Structure 1
């Protein structure tokens, strides 16, 4: 399954829904679809933009598998509507990283202003806090003492202050990293010797608890 599967599929569904019916398809083909089609196309473009970011992150993370990481994309917790863009199991088998990809405006820097994460003039702190919430729920679902679940927000486009920083949110702390620091920071965070058996067991637990997004919805 492509990392961008659910987001890209949603973009396609939005465009198709606005053109449902022969007459609407004909009008859209003539450029006369009206406000409904324009609104759907604009929202679909945002979803497609996010899907492209998720796919870029998947390519960025792929080399980690050669270092013993187990990498998954586009998962969900049963009974929850949100998707988990990326879930990684460390090669030591003692940590799970819950990653969320954002594609933010290139001309606006991402930084902390008065304790809140902002991208240019936009407050993005609530989006960052959501990642901490996702990680907490994943940790509760895994129910494995001794396993850390780390929230990570990966920013494409927007330059991140210092390449990356740790944001303090109500649910804890979240790594906010630009793409150039993602792999080095993950690799550098592993301070325990690799344990392939323990990592594989933790990956199996992740696969048992989480499911591909779209299944069982």
Structure 2
């Protein structure tokens, strides 16, 4: 389908209004607070004398905050799909797993899910396919493609779907995507991982379902809510 996902799908009901829980933003705040724990550290930080520990924490926190801003932007874009019958959830986890799922969408068809990972990459470097691997400029980022493909497989097993019923996607903020979208492959897996720029995200997803089944979509969304839990960071 033009600008759409090369997957099977069908249709759905009204989505739920959701507020994105942003664990990335919470982690950034925790890093900053941890580096300033204690009266003396807070005083030194206030005076700009926090030392290397505070500087490292602030640099790490800035990276997490940058990612959090990307996730919030993605959440705002995805909200447009709810009127078309998509059920949208943010910041989830599979019980017993340590990774968080940035965004999980139940398709209006009621037979498919989208596992979507948000990335914030260098805006001065173009994201391309080099030898079949995703690169941001000269940096090989294909490990991120492999990870989201793995997340999709875990979600499929947890929810009780076939692997090809869960679509792995990455949306990249900052770095322009060559051609607007890429189709990356992971060894040992049949499908592709779509790597999209923000402008392509909603049109690609909106073009995927070819039919609607509100009852079936609501049932699948209910399974998602019962199996995928709000993400909680472990110490």
Interval of TM-score (by shorter of Structure 1 and Structure 2): over 0.9
Which string of whole-angstrom CA distances, capped at 9 and with x for unpartnered residues, describes residues 92-117 of structure 1?
10110000000111110001011110
Q: Unaligned stretches of 5+ in structure 2?
A: 1-17
What is the rounded CA distance, in whole Å, between the counterparts of 1:22 and 1:82 in structure 2?
34
Evaluate the alpha carbon distance shift between residue 145 and residue 113 of structure 1 in structure 2; reply closer, same or farther with a 3 A threshold.
closer
Give the Å deviation of 1:170: 2.5
The whole-number CA distance in structure 1 between the counterparts of 2:162 and 2:98 is 26
The aligned counterpart of 1:190 is: 209
Q: 5 Å matches for 1:1-217?
A: 2-3=19-20, 5-144=22-161, 148-170=165-187, 172=189, 173-191=192-210, 193-214=211-232
Corresponding residue pairs, total: 216
Q: Secondary structure at the match of 1:166?
A: strand
Give 3-state SS (helix, strand or coil) of 1:189's partner: coil
Q: Which consecutive aligned stretches of 4+ in structure 1 deviate over 6 angstroms post-superposition?
A: none
CA contact (8 A) 1:3 1:85 kept: no
Cα–Cα, structure 1 residues 201 and 4, in superposed 2: closer, same or farther, change >3 Å?
closer
CA-based RMSD of the aligned residues comes to 1.7
Ranked by relative contact order (alpha carbons within 8 Å, sequence separation 6 or more), the top structure is 2
Unmatched 5+ residue regions in structure 1? none
How big is the shift at 1:169? 1.4
Q: Is 1:4–1:54's contact at 8 Å kept on the other side of the alignment?
A: no
TM-score by length of 2: 0.88
